[in-house]
Amino acid sequence: MQHTRTTVLLIDATRPELATIEHAAALLRAGELVIFPTETVYGLGADALQPQAVQRIFTAKERALSDPLIVHVANEGALEALVTNVPAQVRQLTRAFWPGPLTLVLPASSRVPKLVTAGLDTVAVRMPRHPVALALIQAAGVPIAAPSANRFMHVSPTTAQHAVADLDGRVPLVLDAGPCAVGVESTVLDLCSEAPTILRPGGVSLEALRSVLPDVQAAHKSSSLEEGQKSPGQLLVHYAPTVPAFLFDGPAEAMRKAMLAETQRRRARGEYVGVLIADEDVPAFHSSGAHVYTLGSTLEQVAARLFAGLRVLEETGVHVILCRGFERRGLGLAIQDRLLKASGGNVIHL
Ligand code: TXA
Ligand code: MG
């Protein structure tokens, strides 16, 4: 593909410089790509209403045209032009969670290019809460289609450097506002099926959604651990690091023991082992000889550091990554889903 010079501009995360925003917005209006921060992960943006601009997203990412994009808006009013009707549930959800990491799948209006929806009659829409994202969409004056700014099949980027590592030379501009606060992608909620259904767990938890809409149905079959157990080969390997990963799942003490034993076994074979663990596990791994990456102690910290941890271990050249599992509440559902995908269904149940 054509090689472009990629410029990275620093931008203030809370009070974005207007001149930088205007420059990026002008590129978007001209049909170019801009990588920008959101509170979840960095996005690879284009004007959602220009099919040629949207096509550039698929080319840069090497993404399959069958995978639809999320359209980002800067206010709730912008929904009207993108969807054929706004069900009452939408108002309740947007009042509670917008701006924020909740994507709503709604009936698409004919104004939305087929390239954005991958030919579906629905469109996914979200209003991010990152000040840079909001300012950029507002200044562009158009809705912005944006997938995560990684190459197809790689881990989503939570820093501008991650995005550049994957897409350098394919995008003219990257806005760098530092690391993303949430660290896992938005929750995708389908409002076009009988009951509201989570298609991808993410930054807004199932519990929080149920506090507003009690009939919200939990995740997507192929991303639940139970399904992973039944048919590991069926799992979509989507957030895969480039080295094999194994997920250890069970009580904390059992996970630590099994991960240590596996580290020892592999080291005896001359392998270099990376482990993704929580703060409470660190003492146990002190003299393990593994390359340790610590995710933190709360689920919020773990979510924020997870993708960076996978990338860091990948770059250290480890032969294998051993990850521990986390509890299935709050952000834990999204964390577990991403770990399951990163491990391609290689789960050791304890
Ligand atoms: O947090 C996020 O959502 C980030 C930031 C940049 O906003 N974006 C992101 O986009 O994760 P992407 O393209 O990596 O993931 C979009 C997800 C995919 O799983 C896609 O299949 C789903 O949303 N999706 C998009 N449109 C859909 C539709 N009409 N129906 C069902 N799923 C849809
Ligand atoms: Mg993605």
Q: What is the CATH number of the domain that holds 334?
A: 3.40.50.11030
Same-domain check for residues 207 and 258: no
- Atom index in ligand 1 nearest the CA of residue 122 equals 29
CA distance 137 to 120: 24
What single letter denotes the amino acid at residue 143?
A: P
- If asked whether residues 139 and 29 sit together in one domain, one would say yes
Q: Is 77 a member of any domain?
A: yes
Choose the residue to mutate in 71, 126, 148, 155 for probing ligand 1, maximizing ligand atoms within 8 Å of C-beta.
148
Instruction: Quote the pLDDT of residue 219.
Output: 65
The reported pLDDT for the residue numbered 3 is: 82
Per-residue pLDDT band for 242 (boundaries 50, 70, 90) equals confident
Is 294 near ligand 1, meaning CB less than 6 Å away? Answer: no
Lowest mean pLDDT, pick from 16-25, 33-42, 72-81, 337-346: 337-346
CATH number of the domain at 81, please.
3.90.870.10
Contact yes or no for 336/290 (Cβ under 8 A)? no
255 falls within a domain: yes
Percentage of the chain lying above the pLDDT 90 cut: 90
Question: What is the average per-residue pLDDT within 328-340?
Answer: 96
Domain assignment of residue 58, yes or no: yes
- Shared domain check, 251 and 186: no
Ligand 1 pocket, residue 123 CB under 6 Å? yes
Which mutation among 42, 105, 185 tests ligand 1's pocket best, with the greatest number of atoms within 8 A of CB?
A: 185
Examine the domain organization and report whether 253 and 296 are in the same domain.
yes
Buried b / exposed e over 131-165, threshold 16 CB at 10 Å, is bbbbbbbebbebbbbbbbbbbeebbbbbbbebbbe
Overall domain count for the chain: 2
Q: What is the pLDDT of residues 8-40, one digit of tens each?
A: 999 999 999 999 999 999 999 999 999 999 999
Residue 238 lies in a domain: no
Q: Indicate which ligand has the atom closest to the C-alpha of 137.
A: 1
pLDDT band at 238 (very low <50, low <70, confident <90, very high): low
| Burial track 47-83 (b if 16+ CB lie within 10 A, e otherwise) | bbbbeebbebbbebbebeeeebbbbbbbebebbeebb
Mean per-residue pLDDT, 71-76: 98
Please name which ligand lies nearest the alpha carbon of 40.
Answer: 1
Instruction: Please identify, among 201, 218, 235, the residue that sits at the C-terminal boundary of a domain.
Output: 218
| Closest ligand by atom to 236 CA | 1
In DSSP terms, which residues pair with 123 in a beta bridge?
106
> CB under 8 Å to 213, separation ≥6 — which residues?
89, 92, 93, 196
Task: Please give the residue range of the domain that contains residue 69.
Answer: 7-218
Q: What's the gap between Cα 308 and its chain centre?
A: 12
Look at ligand 1, atom 15, and give the residue with the nearest C-alpha: 147
Q: Say whether pLDDT at 336 is over 80.
A: yes
Question: What pLDDT band is residue 241 in, cutting at 50, 70 and 90?
Answer: low
- Are 272 and 187 found together in one domain? no
Q: Is the C-beta atom of 336 inside 6 A of ligand 1? A: no
Structure confidence by residue, pLDDT tens digits, 277-325 = 999 999 999 999 999 999 999 999 999 999 999 999 999 999 999 999 9
198 and 308 in a single domain? The answer is no
Q: Which protein residues have a CB closer than 5 Å to ligand 2 (ion)?
A: 148
Q: Nearest residue CA, atom 6 of ligand 1?
A: 43
Q: Closest ligand to 66 CA?
A: 1
Distance (Å, whole) CA 348 – CA 142:
46
The mean pLDDT value of the chain amounts to 93
Question: Could you identify the atom of ligand 1 that is nearest to the CA of residue 182?
Answer: 1
- Return d(Cα 314, Cα 240) in angstroms, integer: 11
* 290 occurs within a structural domain: yes
113-148 pLDDT per residue, tens: 999 999 999 999 999 999 999 999 999 999 999 999
Q: Do 60 and 198 sit in the same domain of this protein? A: yes
Answer yes or no: is 233 within a domain. Answer: no
Is the per-residue pLDDT at 70 higher than 80? yes
69 lines ligand 1 (CB under 6 A): yes
Instruction: Tell how far the Cα of 146 is from the centroid of ligand 1, in angstroms.
Output: 8
Rg (CA), the chain: 20
Residue 210 sits in the same domain as residue 67: yes
Task: Decide: 103 in ligand 1 pocket, CB within 6 A.
Answer: yes
Q: How confident is the model at residue 105 (pLDDT cuts 50, 70, 90)?
A: very high
**Ligand 1 within 6 A of CB of 325:** no
Q: Do both 210 and 257 map to the same domain? A: no
- If asked whether residues 166 and 255 sit together in one domain, one would say no
Going by pLDDT thresholds of 50, 70 and 90, the confidence category of residue 230 is very low
Are 93 and 187 found together in one domain?
yes
Over residues 75-94, the mean pLDDT reads: 95
224 within domain boundaries: no
- The values of phi and psi at residue 197, to 5°, are -130, 135
Q: pLDDT tens for residues 187-224?
A: 999 999 999 999 999 999 999 999 999 999 996 554 44
Tell me: do 118 and 15 sit in the same domain: yes
pLDDT tens, residue by residue, 258-282: 999 999 999 999 999 999 999 999 9
Q: Is 67 in the pocket of ligand 1 (CB under 6 A)?
A: yes
186 alpha carbon, closest ligand: 1
342 pLDDT higher than 50: yes
- 232 falls within a domain: no
d(CA 25, CA 140): 4
